[in-house]
Each structure stands twice: as C-alpha cells, then as structure tokens.
Amino acid sequence: MPDMTGYAFPNDIHIGWTLMVVLYPYLTGLVAGAFICSSLYHVFGRKELAPIARISLVVSACFLAVAPLPLLIHLGHPERAFNVLITPNFESAMAGFGIVFGLYLVLVMLEIYFVFRKDIILRARRSRGPLRWILAAVALFTYDISEEALAVDEKIVRVLAGVGIPAACLLHGYVGFIFGALKSNPWWSTPLMPIIFLFSAVVSGIALLIVLYQIAMRFRGTPIDQNCLRSMAGWLWLFLIVTFSLEMLEVITLAYERSEEWEVIGYLLSHQLSFSFISVQVVAGSLIPLILLMVVVLMSGHMKAPLLNMLTFVASGLLLMQVFSMRWNVVIGGQMFSKSLRGFRLDYVPEFFEKEGTAVAIVICIVPFLLLLVADRLLPLWSQADAKAHQDESS
C-alpha cells in the first residue's frame, strides 16, 4: 500500500498515467523540435544551418516512428489503437492523435524523399543486383537529376517544410491540449499548457541536435562548423527564454490568485516535487543553461571554439534533462494529489523491469538512435556539400 497523507479517495491511491505517458510527450517534443530546426534552413533560408539540415529531418522521422510505442505499451490491448484510424471519431481529442500522426508521418517521409532523391538515384546507379531494383523503385524508376529537376525538388521541399511547421506545432501542441483540457485537474487545466509544451518541444529538439552534431563530428573527425553551432545556440537561447518565462508565469499566476487549488499545488511543488521541480527543472535545467547560453551568444566573438563547444554541449544536455523533468512534473505531479484537494500520494518510483518500467523506457529511447545509424548507412546524412557551398558563398 503506497504512503498517503491527508484525505484521499480510493481511486487516488494508484498512479494511472505512468512513466510511459511521461515518455510519450517527451519523444513527440523531440520530433517537433527537430523538424522546426530543419525548417529554419529549408523555409527561412538560414544557410548557416546547412550542416544539420538533413540530419534534423531524419532525426524527426526516427523519433516519430518510435513516439507511439510508449502509448501502445501503456494500453492493455494495444491492438485496439488501430480503431482510431478504422473508426475515426473527430470529436475525440485523443482519437485525433492517430489522424495527426498519420498525416505528419506522410509529410515527413515525402520531404525526406525529395531531399535525398538525388542521392538515392546516384546510389542506384552504382548498385547492382536486388539493391539496384529496390533503390530504383524508391526513386520511382526515374533518374532525372538535371538542374531543372533538382530545382523542382527544392521547391517541393520548401512547400512541404512550410506545411510541416504548423503540422509539427499541431502534433505536439495537441499533447499539451490533452492535459490542458482536463478541467478536473487544476495543475493541468490552464490555457498555457499547450503553448508551454510546444515551446519546450522546440527547446528539446534543438538541444538534441546540438548534442548529436558535436558527438557525430567528434567520431567522424570532422571540424564543427562554428557558424552553425552559434546559430543553433542563439535559437536555443531564444526559445529557452520564452519557455522558462511561460513556465514561471504559470506558477506565479496561480500563486498570485491564491485560489483553493494553489494550497495544494504550492505544497506539491515545494514538497513532493521539490527535487524534480525546483532543483532539476528550474535551477539545473533552466537557470544554469540560460546563463551558459547567454555567455555563448553574447561572448561568442571573444570565445575560443573549444570553450564555446563545451558550454553549448553542457547547456543542451541540461535542457534535455529539464524538458523530461517538466514532463514528469506535469504528468506524475498532476496525479499525486487527491481529488479532494486535501491529500497526497507521497511516492511514485517506477520499477526497473516492470511492463512500464525504467528498462523499457531506456530501450525505447535507444531505438531512434539505432534507426538513425541505419539511415546513416543508407543516406549521406552528414553531407558537407551544402555547408561547403554556403562557406564559398560567404567568402
């Protein structure tokens, strides 16, 4: 029997939405954030982001493929998840995920196809046997890579990326909407919830790309493009400022109103969630990266590359932790107080080997990186052609 304090109803004893439900919005946030970072290059012409334009798109696809797994594991009958697509209910917010996910998946795969179409054709020409036929089929049996054809590809990619920006926002904003629309829970029921989820998603996506970019360049023995890294650090700092401001505004507003819900939420944040909220989310995960990125952005012209790389890497790693902590505090924290608003569940620690435990979560988080390694074998994710063209254009 879990430890309880105060007055609690019987259905308040157990945490219904567990670690898998925490992991689900975390993964979809990485999907949306990575895609928006890719769109900064394809739509808004941020040429300095050329070195990560391709990898960010593929990262989004890899995490998108894995994002439904936590929910499927959480369901008692995962096979029923397909009923969302077979018998759609357009009035259900949860059922809407299947429709949004399906449309967004098609959009991302189409954009990847047109971005890599030239590379697929070139590899098909060099290949022999069954691989040649497979690649030819992927290329739709057309080998046209003339300048006119590639120009058409670029236009299509730009249109798809432009459409993908609101689609990515809808994909993750919908997750925040699910929580914000639950009137029975005062910690969740706030109009800021979808906006906070969306901006924190962009923060986590850019932070992940910074970490991946630096690790990949180290293993490949390739110099880090400092213009690209500075630009990503600048965008990350901007979105972090907005995200942290919204998170604090939400808490300050509840504290200032001093409604009956604040008596419970304030105690929750200062006691049950004191470590995960104050220590991890606010101090280590927000304030420290905010200072580090401020130093990077404002002092980059007077800072040596190794120091800039290290500060950006540390800040990005802390932000990945911060966003996960925020998801934990929202999903788990919102279930830790009783519906009577007079009692608390004091503990929730997922078992390591249980169905929705830590081991399963670790495996799910590893799978997208394995998919990324497979994609790296098949496609030139780190092609420096675009980056070199940008450097020549700048010089």
> Could you report the per-residue pLDDT of 86-125, keeping only the tens digit for each?
777 777 777 777 778 888 889 999 999 899 888 888 888 8
Secondary structure element (H or E) that encloses residue 62, with its range: helix 50-66
The values of phi and psi at residue 383, to 5°, are -60, 130
Cα(97)–Cα(228) distance, rounded to whole angstroms?
Answer: 34
When comparing pLDDT for 389 and 34, which is higher? 34
Flag whether pLDDT at 1 surpasses 70. Answer: no
Cα(205)–Cα(35) distance, rounded to whole angstroms?
Answer: 8
Burial of 269 (0-12, 13-18, 19+ CB in 10 A): buried
Flag whether pLDDT at 28 surpasses 50. Answer: yes
Residue showing tokens 């046209």 = 144
Do residues 209 and 69 lie in contact, with contact meaning Cβ atoms separated by under 8 Å? Answer: no
Do residues 345 and 266 lie in contact, with contact meaning Cβ atoms separated by under 8 Å? Answer: no
Cα(309)–Cα(209) distance, rounded to whole angstroms?
Answer: 13
Local structure of 8: helix, strand or coil: coil
Identify the DSSP state of 60: H
Residues 6+ apart with CB under 8 A from 109: 61
Residue showing tokens 């040596």 = 304
Q: How far is CA 215 from CA 321, 336, 361, in A?
A: 17, 38, 22
Cα(255)–Cα(262) distance, rounded to whole angstroms?
Answer: 6
Cα(308)–Cα(310) distance, rounded to whole angstroms?
Answer: 5
Do residues 40 and 366 lie in contact, with contact meaning Cβ atoms separated by under 8 Å? Answer: no
Flag whether pLDDT at 128 surpasses 50. Answer: yes
Which has the closest alpha carbon to 59: 228, 213, 199?
213
Do residues 374 and 32 lie in contact, with contact meaning Cβ atoms separated by under 8 Å? Answer: no
Flag whether pLDDT at 165 surpasses 80. Answer: yes
Locate the DSSP E strands across the chain: 4-7, 342-345
- Residue 230: HSE in the Cβ half-sphere, 13 Å Cα cutoff: 17
Local structure of 337: helix, strand or coil: strand
**What's the pTM?**
0.88
What is the predicted pLDDT for the residue at 393? 41
Local structure of 381: helix, strand or coil: coil
When comparing pLDDT for 256 and 2, which is higher? 256
Flag whether pLDDT at 168 surpasses 50. Answer: yes
